[in-house]
Amino acid sequence: MDIIFTRMKTSTHIHYQQRMKALIELKNLRKKKLQKILLGRIVSFLIILCFITLALSTNQSNFLFGEIPFLLIFGFLVQKNRKENEKLLLIEKKIETNQEEIQALEGNYSSFQNGKEFVNSSHEFTHDLDIFGEKSLFQTINRTSSSASAWVLANLLSQPFTNEKIILERQRAIQELKEKPIWREEFRAKGKLYFTDKKSIDILTSWKNKEIALFENETIWRLLFVFIPVVMTLSIILAYYAMIPWLFVLLLALIPLGITGRHLKIINTQHVKISTFLPILNQHTLLVAEVENEIFSSEILLDIQSTLISNNSAASQKIAELAQLANQFDNRSNPIFALLANSLFLWDLRYLFRLKKWLKKNEHELPKWFKATHEIETYASFATFWFNNPNFSLPQISQEILFKSQELAHPLMHSRNRIANDFDIQNLQEFVIITGANMAGKSTFLRAIGVNLVLANCGAPVCAKQFVFRPTPLYSSMRTTDSLSNNESYFYSELKRLQSIVDKLKKGETLFVILDEILKGTNSKDKAEGSKKFIKQLLTYQAAGIIATHDLSLCAMKEEFPDHIENKYFDVEIEQDQLVFDYTLKEGICSNMNAEFLMKKMGITE
């Protein structure tokens, strides 16, 4: 037994605090620069007003030429102001990111999505192990900026791989990203600039050019896009010099407006769609560029990067093109602009044509680009989790040892409160029966084993000094609930849970099983006999695991199966009329129970 990681926060805290200090200084410099730009804009605007006033008061239009340089300066400063504001906003997001991490080191994860939408009480282990929900493993790890990336992380935590090669590759990717804290800060901050949701991303990545049922004959449309602007421009010039009446120009404008109006339904449909995609496109342009421009060495990260760069064409540029198309197309939202642009240039159809061409060329690549971003965000989340817990260790994969750990503790407990224990199960068909008093730590220990196994199968670091395991699917039964909607009793729900375990084993699956108090919903005698028979059943399959119980009669099974059953316990002592727990796992059977003492202590009984 040992209390571990008491100093783990020091170096990590220092990193985030130093970054905060540097970013706040940079923020102040940006604000001063913006103040100078604002002053320049005001001065330029006042000078422009002076020239206009002189021209009007003297009735000499020549003064208007003097304002041209200041108009250019004013326009330049407007653009400069916009860019500086964007830089300032990114700095603020970086400061926010570091503030969130400092809070996380103190145990406050409220800034991060908790994954409550992924809670599933019938899942093999996630409900029992607090993988999702408030103060869950998901919330502790999650650093994704979109719900689509959160889904990728949730799927990984609920369906971890047991393939050795994949786990090792993920370990290398997470380890590499752990060593890139500044890059992760930049990546997360840029992701936080925009709000995006999974539903919109799913619609975007499934967008096909066939939805735009136009432009079958591209040649004719290309000619129209050239011919109409030329004709309209010539007609305006001729009307200006009174060579043709303006009425003729207006009548001529009805032709392009009529062509546009004929296809207005499909134009409106696609405009509404692409307008909702603008935040997604802007966000992923930034995120994809970050991945493209970084140097990676691990195989997974290089594979992800390769999907973004092909034929000397970067995905970020392609996504930026689509974002630009969306911005140009969205100009039609202004009715005056729409009227003029469509009458002169067939604006809506021109950009709808370009959109269809873009989709035709890139629609199959688009899902890959977004998937790459979601995967990177997932691995970056694990990397931050490890960076924040530098004393966590990377698991070692073994085909000889099923499970062996030194100084293992629960990763969701703050380092100040963690009590570590050694634990091992060498082979399949071995079970450890754990007894102990109430509140002695049995359930917490079971969850510590389970959560660390989930992390290990994900390729992530674990809360242990050493962790050796054989990748094995996990199944638990710890938090069974009744179901009024399905008219199921608590006991029947638990039976269904146990049946599910046996069904999987009968199919030849290998399982690491974690059980907390088998058959809680029945009487003591029935529970004892049923539990013994169930454990005997488990010993006939490719299974191993841990069983916590208050029923000391189960411990006698070690005499019948000395090579397959091990007894361990958590103890409690009563000192000076107080319960004392050391949360240390010991060999043998618990002899001290505390229910009677607690009932007296609380005044329930005399």
pLDDT tens by residue, 463-478: 999 999 999 999 999 8
In 10 A of CB 441, how many CB atoms? 23
Cα–Cα distance, 5 to 2 (Å, whole number): 10
Confidence at 427, pLDDT banded by 50, 70, 90: very high
Specify the pLDDT at position 605.
Answer: 58
Positive or negative torsion for Cα 398, 404, 408, 409: positive
What Cα–Cα distance (Å) separates residue 210 from each residue in 39, 219, 270?
51, 18, 12
Angle in degrees, 0-180, between the axes of helices 366-388 and 164-178, rounded to the nearest 10: 70
Average pLDDT of span 510-532? 85
DSSP state of 556: G
Average pLDDT of span 431-438? 87
DSSP state of 377: H
The pair of structure tokens assigned to 16 is 């985030």
Average pLDDT of span 430-437? 90
Q: Where are the domains of the chain?
A: 125-214+263-388, 396-601
Average pLDDT of span 457-463? 97
Do 125-214+263-388 and 396-601 show the same overall fold?
no
Q: Is the pLDDT of residue 184 over 50?
A: yes
- For residue 354, the surrounding DSSP H or E stretch is helix 347-362
Residue 420 has, within 13 A of its CA and on its CB side, a CA count of 23
pTM strictly above 0.85: yes
Place of tokens 């062509």: 259
Greatest Cα pair distance, the chain, in angstroms, is 113
Confidence at 6, pLDDT banded by 50, 70, 90: very low
If phi > 0 it is left, if psi is from -120 to 50 it is alpha, else beta; for residue 123 that is beta
Burial of 344 (0-12, 13-18, 19+ CB in 10 A): middle
The better pLDDT of the pair 117, 1 is held by 117
Specify the pLDDT at position 579.
Answer: 64
Q: Is the pLDDT of residue 168 over 90?
A: yes
Average pLDDT score over the chain:
89
Cα–Cα distance, 348 to 498 (Å, whole number): 61
Instruction: Give residue-wise pLDDT tens across range 201-252.
Output: 999 999 999 999 899 899 999 999 999 999 999 999 999 898 999 999 999 9
Hey, what CATH class is 125-214+263-388 in? mainly alpha
Q: Is the pLDDT of residue 598 over 60?
A: no
Place of tokens 């103190």: 106
Specify the pLDDT at position 62.
Answer: 76
Find out if CATH 1.10.3720.10 is the number for domain 396-601.
no
Q: Is the pLDDT of residue 599 over 50?
A: no
Average pLDDT of span 372-395? 96
The residues, any chain, with a CB within 8 Å of residue 550's CB and separated by 6 or more, are 435, 517, 593
Specify the pLDDT at position 517.
Answer: 86
The residues, any chain, with a CB within 8 Å of residue 271's CB and separated by 6 or more, are 329, 330, 332, 348
Confidence at 570, pLDDT banded by 50, 70, 90: confident
Q: Is the pLDDT of residue 593 over 60?
A: no
Place of tokens 């003064």: 63
Q: Is the pLDDT of residue 575 over 90?
A: no
The pair of structure tokens assigned to 78 is 């407007």
At 464 the three-state DSSP class reads: coil
The better pLDDT of the pair 3, 576 is held by 576
Residue 55 has, within 13 A of its CA and on its CB side, a CA count of 13
Range from 69-78, 321-330, 412-421, 576-585 carrying the lowest mean pLDDT: 576-585
Cα–Cα distance, 326 to 320 (Å, whole number): 10
Specify the pLDDT at position 485.
Answer: 42
The pair of structure tokens assigned to 394 is 């990377």
The better pLDDT of the pair 605, 88 is held by 88
What Cα–Cα distance (Å) separates residue 394 from each residue in 137, 235, 452, 460, 465?
17, 74, 11, 7, 9
Average pLDDT of span 153-176? 94
Cα–Cα distance, 150 to 116 (Å, whole number): 11
CA 575 to chain centre: 48
